[in-house]
């Protein structure tokens, strides 16, 4: 992060830390309500999760310290966790980047339109992500009998004779979950890109045309993207975090547990141990892994995007 030049008159280097803190009493009072709650419900829970992950804890009795046992069990003995980890990674590696580029490309195309049409298109693409549990209609599309839309369509046009029970057939489960997740994924990141595209300085385009940019694709690559890098970074965080958290759609569409665990993700595994089996120490270890995966991949991608154009 670049250091900002501060123009404050009262910002004096000779002041001691204590003095500076006293001077900013008003600032601390103003941030206090938020940060007290933030520590209580975000920072502290992360620390507690990490602590619990080294214990055996069933909520009723005082936790027993067990060292790395939970992690050893997780990676060596828990076959379902391996499936969950594999599914989550497949999910993240596919839906993360694809949804990111979907957000970017759709936002870019929408930006070519104007007025009401643009607002309308924005709504169409954004609506699924805020429509609550409307994704349950995918149950009707993917229903396993002839009444399902997909089966009905495929049978009517003679692609097949009998209905396929899509969400109970192992090889289809993950693919359909990915499609539904992509349908849901044009959220905050998408809005950020739409907004970011509008802030690009129009003069840049004219200057670029003088310099020999010939079509809209070159314009996108050489002018638009470099000037909306901050939005690209923020959008990446939104899409990556979302890609790792998939759980509800899996439970609603594939069931929990799903057929041969084909739709099990880290979060559904976490819910299994946290809210059904009450093995809180073990569940905390899963939560810590999830935390490290989410934050780690976010940090990595931030580094990569920052490098673009340097």
Partner 1 sequence: MARDYMKPRRRIFRKQKRLNRSMAGNVTLFIFMGICAVFMAIPLVMVVNNAFKPLDELFRYPPTLFVRHPSTDNFNDLMVLMSNSWVPFARYILNTVIITGGGTLGHVLVASLAAYPLAKHNFPGKKLLFNMVVLSIMFTYQVTQIPNYLIISLLHINNTYLAVILPAFAYGLGLYLMKQFMEQIPDSLIESARLDGASEYKVFWTIIMPNVKPAWLTLAVLQFQSMWGNTGSTFLRDEQLKPLQYALQQIVNSGPARQGAGAVVTLIIAAVPITFFIICQSSIIETMTTSGMKE
Taking the CA atoms of residue 127, residue 269, residue 75 and residue 86 in that order, the dihedral angle to the nearest 10 degrees is -40
Query: x/- contact string, 247-276, with partner 1 (CB under 8 A)?
Result: x-------------------x--xx--xx-
Measured between alpha carbons, how far is 282 from 56 in angstroms, rounded to an integer? 7
Tokens of 156: 């009517």
Closest CB to partner 1 among 20 and 170?
20
Count other Cβ atoms within 10 Å, centred on residue 42: 10
Task: Give yes or no for residue 149 binding partner 1 (CB under 8 A).
Answer: yes
If the CB atoms of residues 25 and 171 are measured against partner 1, the closer one turns out to be 25
- The least distance separating partner 1 from the CB of residue 194, rounded to whole angstroms, comes to 6
* Phi, psi (rounded to 5 degrees) for 16: -80, 165
Count of alpha carbons within 13 angstroms of residue 128, beta-carbon side: 17
Using CB under 8 A, which of the segments 69-77, 84-92, 169-177, 282-290 binds partner 1?
A: 282-290
Tell how far CA 232 is from the center of its chain.
Answer: 14
Q: In the numeric block, which tokens belong to residue 155?
A: 């049978």
Residue 79: is it exposed, middle or buried by C-beta count within 10 angstroms (0-12/13-18/19+)?
exposed
SS (H, E, C) 244-262: HCCCHHHHHHHCCCCHHHC
Which of 74, 110, 173, 177 is close enough to bind partner 1 by CB under 8 A? Answer: 110
Residue 239 in contact with residue 181, Cβ under 8 Å?
no
Q: Which of 134, 160, 276, 300 binds partner 1 (CB under 8 A)?
A: 134
CB 228 within 8 A of CB 199: yes
**Least spacing, CB of residue 233 vs partner 1, in Å:** 4
Residues 8-47 that bind partner 1 (CB under 8 A): 8, 11, 17, 20-21, 24, 26-28, 30-31, 33-35, 37-38, 40-46
Question: Applying CB under 8 A, which of residues 93, 175, 209, 300 lies at the interface with partner 1?
Answer: 209
Residue 169 CB, nearest approach to partner 1 (Å): 20
Nearer to partner 1, 210 or 260 (CB): 210
Q: Of 31 and 175, which CB lies nearer to partner 1 in the complex structure?
A: 31
User: Exposed, middle or buried by CB within 10 Å (0-12, 13-18, 19+), for 86?
Assistant: middle
Give the whole-angstrom CA distance, residue 136 versus residue 154.
Answer: 21
Stretch that binds partner 1, among 65-73, 79-87, 168-176, 202-210 (CB under 8 A): 202-210
When binding is defined by CB under 8 A, the residue of 126, 166, 176, 261 that contacts partner 1 is 126
Give the one residue of 114, 157, 162, 303 binding partner 1; rule: CB under 8 A: 114
Closest to partner 1 by CB, 36 or 72: 36
- Hey, which residues between 56 and 75 contact partner 1 (CB under 8 A)? none
Q: Residue 239 Cβ, how far from partner 1 at the closest point, in Å?
A: 12
The DSSP call for residue 77 is I
- Which residue from 12, 48, 72, 260 is in contact with partner 1, where contact means CB under 8 A? 48
Q: Collapse the DSSP code of 65 into the 3-class scheme (helix H, G, I; strand E, B; otherwise coil) and give the result.
A: strand
Nearer to partner 1 by Cβ, of 261 and 273: the residue is 273
Angle between helices 79-110 and 229-244 (to 10 degrees): 150
| Under rule CB under 8 A, residue 298 binds partner 1 | yes
- Closer Cβ to partner 1, 170 or 207, answer by number: 207
- Between 199 and 260, name the residue whose CB sits nearer to partner 1: 199
In the chain, what's the furthest Cα-to-Cα distance?
83
């Amino acid at each position: 992060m670049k250091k900002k030049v501060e123009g404050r008159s009262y910002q004096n280097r000779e002041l001691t830390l204590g003095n500076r803190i006293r001077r900013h009493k008003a600032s601390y009072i103003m941030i206090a309500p938020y940060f007290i709650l933030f520590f209580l419900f975000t920072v502290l829970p992360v620390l507690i999760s990490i602590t619990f992950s080294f214990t055996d804890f069933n909520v009723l009795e005082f936790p027993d310290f067990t060292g790395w046992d939970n992690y050893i069990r997780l990676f060596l003995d828990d076959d379902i966790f391996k499936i969950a980890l594999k599914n989550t990674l497949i999910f993240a590696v596919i839906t993360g980047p694809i949804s990111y580029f979907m957000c970017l490309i759709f936002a870019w195309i929408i930006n070519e339109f104007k007025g009401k049409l643009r607002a309308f298109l924005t709504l169409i693409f954004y609506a699924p992500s805020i429509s609550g549990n409307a994704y349950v209609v995918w149950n009707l599309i993917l229903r396993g009998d002839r009444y399902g839309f997909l089966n009905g369509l495929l049978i009517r046009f003679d692609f097949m004779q009998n209905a396929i029970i899509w969400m109970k057939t192992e090889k289809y489960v993950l693919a359909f979950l990915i499609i539904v997740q992509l349908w849901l994924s044009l959220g905050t990141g998408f809005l950020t890109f739409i907004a970011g595209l509008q802030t690009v300085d129009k003069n840049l385009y004219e200057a670029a045309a003088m310099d020999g940019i010939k079509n809209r694709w070159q314009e996108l690559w050489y002018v638009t993207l470099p000037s909306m890098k901050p939005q690209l970074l923020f959008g990446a965080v939104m899409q990556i975090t979302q890609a790792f958290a998939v759980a509800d759609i899996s439970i609603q569409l594939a069931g929990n547990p799903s057929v041969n665990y084909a739709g099990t993700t880290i979060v559904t595994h976490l819910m299994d141990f946290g809210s059904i089996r009450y093995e809180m120490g073990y569940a905390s270890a899963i939560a810590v892994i999830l935390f490290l995966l989410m934050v780690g991949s976010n940090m990595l991608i931030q580094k990569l995007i920052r490098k673009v154009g340097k």
